[in-house]
A = this chain, B = another copy of it.
């Protein structure tokens, strides 16, 4: 019988509908200003229904953060065209920073907000898959660089974390308005350019 299958499909559709409604509001008003009631209104369902499909607000924020990682992964696809590992690494940083600049709220949700991590820790797997895959991608790039002679004597794990920290630090400080005290017109762009200049020695 195809009934249960159709039901499953409908269930998934509403799940997506709610999530997309949340996504839209979230882009409009910022994550901090979106309430469960807002989301319910937007999709024309009751508050209770939202809670049928999502355990709590953390679950919604985690699902949203996952969508963010999907888009970031898409953006990273252009890197496959970059043959030279070092150039690929440099380009990856640019893509990362650009994403953070264009979608600051989403970036904040992905890399700063506690909610998605709380959801992960409440769950079964207990592991942050999105972060794991993304960091793994960076680690591979670093190893590719080392394979052609760069970063000699450096530990790839620590170096990956260091480089992640550099771009994250700049994006994070920018988003939280801490760069107001830095006398640069475009802090992240100019800061990253400075980093690229450093990389020339490796």
Contacts and interface: CB of A to CB of B under 8 A. Distances in A.
Interface in A143-202: 153-155, 157-162, 164-170, 172-173, 176-184, 187, 190-191, 193-195, 197-198, 201-202
Contacts of A112: 112, 172, 176
Nearest to A165: B169
B114 A180 contact: no
B170 A172 contact: no
Interface residues of A, number: 48
Contact of A161 (B158, B162, B177, B182): B182
Given A165-B169, A169-B172, A178-B128, A197 B117 contact: no
A127 to B, nearest CB: 8
A105 to B, nearest CB: 12
Contact of A169 (B135, B154, B168): B168
A6 interface: no
B176 A191 contact: no
A114 B165 contact: no
B166 A162 contact: yes
Interface of A: 32, 111-114, 117, 127-128, 131-132, 135, 153-155, 157-162, 164-170, 172-173, 176-184, 187, 190-191, 193-195, 197-198, 201-202
Given A127-B180, A161-B184, A162-B170, 13 more contacts: A111-B173, A111-B176, A114-B177, A157-B184, A158-B190, A161-B179, A162-B195, A165-B167, A165-B173, A166-B166, A168-B169, A168-B173, A201-B202
